[in-house]
Structures are given as C-alpha cells and as structure tokens.
Structure 1
Amino acid sequence: MLKKQKTVPSGESTQVQTNVKLNWPKVLGTDSPVPWLFPVVVILLLVFIYPVIEVVRFSFTNASLVDQRYMYTLNSYTSLFTKPGFGHMVGITLSFVAFSVFFQMLLGFIIALMVDLGNKRKLIGTVVIRTTVLSAWAIPGVVIGIIWSMLYNESDAGILNYLVQMMGFSKIEFLSDPQVVLASVTIANIWRGTAFCMIMIYAGFQTVPGDVLEAAQIDGTTPWQTLTKIIVPILAPILFINMITSIVATFNTFDMVMSLTAGGPGQSTEVMALGVYSNIFHLFELGKGSATAVILLLINLILTFVYFRFIEKN
C-alpha cells in the first residue's frame, strides 16, 4: 500500500532546509575562534615552526650526515666567519641581489610605463605584451634554468653564441668562464623577476589620479617632469614594497641557479641558498649548513620587519 506524501509549499520547504542547517557555535560549544584556528596552528607547528627550531638547534652543533654523534658548540658559526669561503659566498650573493633587483625594477618600470601609455592611447597588443612578460614569472625556476642553459650553450648549437659569431665575434663561455658566469646567471634572474616588478608597477600606474595629470599638463609640465615630479613620488610606496619583495625573493633563489650552474664553475655562482644545500648534501656538514640557513633566515626576518613597518606607517 502506497503511503501518501504530504506536499510542502516552496516557501515552507526553504524554511525547513534553513532550520536543518547546523549551528556550528552550538555544536562546538563556544563562540571562540580557537577551535577553528587550532588545525592551522598545528599545521604551522609541524610544517614551519618545528623545522625552524631544529635548524637553529643544529646550527649550534658540529653535526654531520655521516656521523650520528654530535656536540653543542659554536664551531659552525666561527668556521663560517673565519674561513674566506663564506665571505666569498656573501659577496657573490650581494652582487647577485643588487644587480638583479636594480635591473628588474628598472626594466619593470619601463615596460609598465610603455604598457600604460599604450592602454591610454588604445594601442593594439598591450594585453599580449602583459601576458608574454607575465609568463616569464609563471615559469618554474628549474625550467628557467634549463631554458637559459640551452641559450647559453657554448657549442655551435647555442643560440646566443650563434648570434655572437654571426656578428663577427668569437664564442663566449657563458657558463664555464668564472669571470662571466655570474653575469650570465644574473641576466637569467633579471629576465625571471622583471615580470613581477612590471605587474606591481603597472598596478601602481592605475592608482595615479587622472585629474592630477591633467592639472600638470595644463600647467605646462614636460613629460619628463610629470614622470619624475608627480608619478614617481606617487608610486614611491609601491616601488619600495616591490624592492623589498624582490630582494627577499632574490636572496632565496635556489632552483634556477641549481639547474643552470649548480654553483659552478668552482664556487663562482654559489649564492647563500645554494651554499646551505652544498654544505649539507655535498660536504655532509649539517651544523655548518644549518648555521648558513640561520644567517639567511635572519636576513629574511630583517627585510620582512622593514616591510611590515613600512606597511604599518603607510
């Protein structure tokens, strides 16, 4: 025998479905956000906080990957600061960061300015340019290293050396000459980071008030004066934030350098992030590698503090 179903009007059906929804604060027994934050805190402790604590702890030891015994000592730090290899690595890193960030911001600013002017004049192709430049930033660092290793190929198959020889010059040892290889790696990193700077600065151009530019034009200012006296001061906060984020990203560059040169030839391109890897997995010196990682962590923390202080004030 079929059971007769009761028809519920659509409005009452909606009300019934609404009443069925769980009241999560009552289920959890509290209105406090702690139960919701607890899983996030656990993940942070396991994935970030605990590894950092372990790295700091091992930096005060003479631990090695080939010996389970170790003792707590400051030898890892003293050996870093007394041996010339660490100073050489820091110098390479600072040069790499300085030239990379300077030209990334310079080229990013120029491209962003050109794209902004093209948009205002409704020129065709500005979207294509933005997409093309942004693709360099979206490509993983390992792939970028492989791409540039093919461009820098020192055989007759190398694209750049082929163009150099067509112009009547001799082949350039992009990746095997210690005097040239750091510049080669820096150029590849500039190509990689220019896209991010361009996107940030281009977004800043959209915040420049149009009435201010119109007033400047009425006052008879030249385009150069408008750029240097009006636009750049307005973009100063964005440029500063862009500079800090670019410095942090360049200090932590590992994957691209690893796939392009692996720090060679010798230690000509061994930046600090790569030095951590080399000390631990090539020299098996866990203590010294951890000490290098702690120094790199302190640099990042200082830059992050400067970043947030600037955000707070502005």
Structure 2
Amino acid sequence: MSRNPVAARPWLWMLPLGAVLLLVFVYPLVEIVRLSFTDATLVAGEPYSYTAAPYRSVVAGQDFADILRITFLFVVFSVVFQLLLGFAIALLVDTAKRRGLRGALVTRTVVLTAWAIPGVVIGVIWSLLYQEGSAGILNYLGGLVGLSGDTAFLSDPDAALISVTVANIWRGTALSMILMYAGLQTVPRDLLEAARIDGAGPVQSFRAVTFPVLLPLIAIDLVTITVETFNTFDMVLALTGGGPGTATQVLALGVYDQMFNQLNLGRGAAMSVVLLLINVVMIGFYFRYTARREARV
C-alpha cells in the first residue's frame, strides 16, 4: 500500500503558505532594506547607486528629529490614556455585569464600535467635530456652555497635535478595554471574596489579587497599542495630512511623505527601516518579559 506523500512529509502542507509569506512579506521587506541603502527616487528613468547617504541624512536631518519628537509625544500620551481609560471602562462594565445592572452589553458594544471603524473614517468623523467656527460641533457645544466658540483645533500647531492625540485615544481605548475586560473575567472571585472577608479594601484587593492576574494582559496590551500607535497612518492622513506644516507628521506619515510627495525613495526606505526597528525592539521587550515571567513560574 502506497503512502500518502503529503502525510509522510507534513512540511508540504506549509509550502503554499510559505510561498505567500515570501511573496507578500519577506520580499517587500528585503526590497525596502535594499532601497534604504540607495539614492533612488521615484523620478522615472533616473538611475541610482548604492550609498549610506540616506541613513546619514536621517540621522543628521532636523526634520527627522522633529518627526521623532512629534511621534514620541503622540505615542506616549496615546498609550498612557488608552491603558487608563480602557481599564476604567472595563472595570465599570465588569462591575455592572456582576451586579446585574442593565446597559453593560450596550456599553461594550458602543466602545467596540470605535475599534471596528476604519481609521480613514475616524479621521473624517473627527475632522467634522474639530471644524473651526460656529459650524464645528465641538466649537458649537463649547459656545453653549460659555467657552470659546472659535478654537483652532486643527490649524494651530500645538492644538492640532493634541487634537490628533485625543482622536487616537478614542480610537485605541476600545482595544485596551477588550483585553482588560477579558482579564477581569479570569480573576478568581473566591480570592476577591476572601480578601474582602479579611478586611481588605478595594485598593488592597486590586494590588494583591487583581493586578497580578492582569499583569500579563497589561504587558500584551502595552506592546500591542504601542506598536499600533507607532504605525498610525490612515487616521492622521485623513484628519490633518500631517499639518499644519509638519505639526502632526508622525513617523509613518513621514515615510509616506518622503516616498510619494518628495519622491525620495531611498530616504523614505531608510525611515521605514527605523520604524521597523522600533517595532522589533518593542516586540523584543515583550518576549523578554514573557520569558522571564515563565522562568519564574
């Protein structure tokens, strides 16, 4: 009886998937790294040569330093508030569910809507909210309560970065809420009850019982939303396009600008490699944390 060659060699099942990964992931990655060491442009017919000039330009360029500063502020404030708000909403929903209050399911659904909406649509929605003058929704509501009705949300450089960050916090809080809510469902209720009987208050119960259980999920959430925020592109493009000037030009948008507006393919590829390295470092920290935690266990 002849044996099935696929059953005898399980790796044959992986060949189609491996071919797809090589085509859509490995090849573009290698090509980007290769182009980052060239002076290539998108000008038709222009020859290019291999050089380290793109990386020297990135390191020495004041524009890239400004992009990193803007990206750092955008990422730090987005991640901190996404974590805090996501946990707060998850805790409220979990408490409402345990007490049998109505509206917990509706609240979860409303929060998840922000996560399901595409980034471009979110950018358009918030651009309507931030519209300047009395026609803007936020300016109109501000005027009703006695605040200034002509706030320049998107035309003032400082206000524009804050406005984009707020929109991104609203967008990303949902993911943190999902992870934190899932983690709260795994907290042993008997341990919480035992802590309450022993006289522990809410803060002591959280520190002794809830936080240790949530810690692995907090690490996953931290890495996930940090990487996602570093790679934010579509929402910022639709909301401000990186403006006014370059006040909201985060790193991913800077790569797009270099390649398709400045037509500088080599420098844009070098900036994308920097973005890739940041993502790799973040993921590396997570795997190192996971390995240490498993070693202790």
| TMscore range, shorter length | over 0.9
Deviation, 1:214, is: 0.9
Report 1:29-68 matches (<5 A).
Answer: 31-66=8-43, 67-68=45-46
Q: Is the 8 A contact 2:54 2:267 kept in 1?
A: yes
Whether 1:253 and 2:232 are equivalent positions in the alignment is yes
Structure 1 residue 163, shift from structure 2 partner:
1.0
Counterpart residue number, 1:228: 207
Within 5 A, what are the aligned runs for 1:122-271?
122-170=100-148, 171-271=150-250
Question: Which residue of 268, 271, 275 maps to 1:296?
Answer: 275
Contact in 1 for aligned 2:131/2:137 (Cα 8 Å):
yes
Q: Is the 8 A contact 2:223 2:282 kept in 1?
A: yes
SS in structure 2 opposite 1:227?
Answer: helix
Which residues in structure 2 correspond to 1:67-146 (within 5 Å)?
67-146=45-124
Q: CA deviation at 1:302?
A: 1.4
SS in 2 for 1:179: helix
Q: Which has the larger radius of gyration?
A: 1
Q: Secondary structure at the match of 1:180?
A: helix
Taking structure 2 as the reference length, what is the TM-score of the superposition?
Answer: 0.95
Percent identical pairs in the alignment equals 53
One-letter code aligned to 2:27: Y
Q: Is the contact made by 2:133 and 2:151 (CA closer than 8 Å) also made in structure 1? A: no
Q: CA deviation at 1:230?
A: 2.4
Structure 1: distance between partners of 2:248 and 2:224: 22
Distance in 2 (alpha carbons) for counterparts of 1:219 and 1:92 = 48
In structure 1, C-alpha distance between the alignment counterparts of 2:242 and 2:158, rounded to whole Å: 14
- Structure 1: which 5+ runs fail to align? 1-22
Q: Deviations along 1:35-78, whole A, 9 cap, x unmatched?
A: 11011111011100000000000000110111531111111010
Q: Could you list the structure 1 runs, at least 4 aligned residues long, displaced by more than 4 angstroms after superposition.
A: none
Give TM-score scaled by structure 1 length.
0.90
Q: Deviations over 1:175-226 (max 9, x none)?
A: 0000100000000000000000001000000111111101101111111221
Deviation (angstroms), 1:30:
5.0
Q: CA RMSD in A?
A: 1.4
Say whether the 8 Å CA contact 2:6–2:12 is kept in structure 1. Answer: no
Q: CA deviation at 1:305?
A: 2.0
Give 2:25's aligned amino acid: F
One-letter amino acid of the structure 2 residue matched with residue 192 of structure 1? R
Residue 28 of structure 1, CA deviation: 3.3
